Amino acid sequence: MAYLRRAATALILIMQLFTLSNAHNITKILAKDPEFSTFNHYLSATHLADEINRRQTITVLAVDNSAMNSILSKGYSLYTIRNILSLHVLVDYFGAKKLHQITDGSTSTASMFQSTGSATGTSGYVNITDIKGGKVAFGVQEDDSRLTAHYVKSIFEKAYNISVLHISQVLTSPEAEAPTASPSDLILTTILEKQGCKAFSDMLKSTGADKTFQDTVDGGLTVFCPSDSAVGKFAPKFKALSAANKTALVLYHGMPVYQSLQMLRSGNGAVNTLATEGNNKFDFTVQNDGEDVTLETDVVTAKIMGTLKDQEPLIIYKVDKVLLPREIYKAVKAAAPAPKSSKHKPKNAEADGPSADAPGDDDGEVADDKNGAIYVMMVSRSSVFVSAIVWLCFGVWLM
């Protein structure tokens, strides 16, 4: 029994270490050195810090306060600064040792500016070259292959997870410096129409829901846009809905938070929507299987087909079906046999009001939001697994 207790203790410690092994916080890492305070501030202000912390393999090329002045003095908007700093976040691991072991002395790697689709061609790639004298230089690949910055020192490294390196100058390019509109300046319906979602855009405008979507952008917005063909097939049913249900159904296609594809793939769970209000849940479940992400409403299951726009805090996905909330349409269940005496069948399964065909209270509880805000409830598979192992070990310890 003593052996089992020791084994359980060891397992608990191992699982705790496993849980923390991939966690990093770029803000805390840089906060230890005041000379990077400006760079650190703008990583947070542009939301790049959140994206860095979500990724498991990353390299951050930090510049000191004096180097940051070279771009701040030009009066760029916050969104242009985000593009420039995105060039300093490499989506691969480069520790100090690896910098001097580059095959053939030079390599090119994608930055976050490239991986998010903000850059065209290969303008979001960064060239890393091990030059003579033990120095390593960096430059934006399409900026005439100029190596404009050099490696100064390593700030923080966790092997193959995160590396934070100090470089001498800001990496930039004409494309990164190009004026960038803020999300609130982007007209959502115009973007949808240009990306093959004109039919859904028309639904937004016809119900007046476009204002709700647009007003939500700055605080974070995820849009699931059905293709024009999917909306076309659904059009007759949509026309038959009441005005209130038309608006609710359209709002059901938006989440009032930014959820990147990586975030959606990292966990399963129920999510609230722009239609969620009081007792009207209007939620659906995000499910992922490898690279595939589906949205389950209890009425239909839609699949994410691709990303149309990703400019945090706004992201737009294309889905293959119109999302049908169970609050308007009956959930897919084994229907009870209809009475034989009935001579008439309902024309459709649509309700005129939000609660008419709503499921019973035992179908689920509304997520408790103490701040009265709508938010996302995502459950990480790994967290559940770790918790289960820890509690199992604790039970063995008590035996």
Q: 47-84: per-residue pLDDT in tens?
A: 888 889 888 899 999 999 999 999 999 988 888 899 99
Residues 319-351: tens digit of each pLDDT: 999 999 999 998 765 444 455 444 444 444 344
- The secondary structure of residue 277, as a DSSP letter, is B
Do residues 102 and 163 both lie within one domain? yes
Pick the residue with more confidence: 30 or 45?
Answer: 30
Q: Is position 353 within any domain?
A: no
* CATH number, domain containing residue 90: 2.30.180.10
Query: Which long-range CB contacts under 8 A does 279-283 form with residues at least 24 apart?
Result: 279/355, 279/366, 280/248, 280/327, 280/354, 280/355, 280/358, 281/327, 281/364, 281/366, 282/248, 282/251, 282/252, 282/325, 282/327, 283/367
Tokens 């966990």: give the residue: 267
Instruction: Out of 57-61, 145-149, 337-341, 357-361, pick the least confident.
Output: 357-361
State the residue range of the domain holding 256: 186-319
Do residues 117 and 196 both lie within one domain? no
Q: In terms of pTM, does the model score above 0.75? A: no
Q: Is position 72 within any domain?
A: yes
Do residues 160 and 202 both lie within one domain? no
**Cα(285)–Cα(263) distance, integer angstroms:** 14
State mean pLDDT over 212-234. Answer: 93
Number of domains making up the chain = 2
Do residues 194 and 150 both lie within one domain? no
Q: Which of 135, 167, 199 is the last residue of a domain?
A: 167
Do residues 161 and 198 both lie within one domain? no
The residues with which 314 forms a beta bridge, in sequence order, are: 221, 311
- What pLDDT does residue 398 have? 52
**Cα(374)–Cα(354) distance, integer angstroms:** 18
Q: Is position 223 within any domain?
A: yes
Average pLDDT, the chain: 80
Do residues 142 and 252 both lie within one domain? no
CB neighbour list of residue 239: distance below 8 Å, 6 or more residues apart: none
Q: Which of 134, 167, 200 is the last residue of a domain?
A: 167
Burial-class residue 133 by CB neighbours within 10 Å (0-12, 13-18, 19+). Answer: exposed
Token output for 104: 């053939």
Do residues 143 and 269 both lie within one domain? no
Q: Omega before 337 cis (within 30°)?
A: no
Burial-class residue 34 by CB neighbours within 10 Å (0-12, 13-18, 19+). Answer: exposed
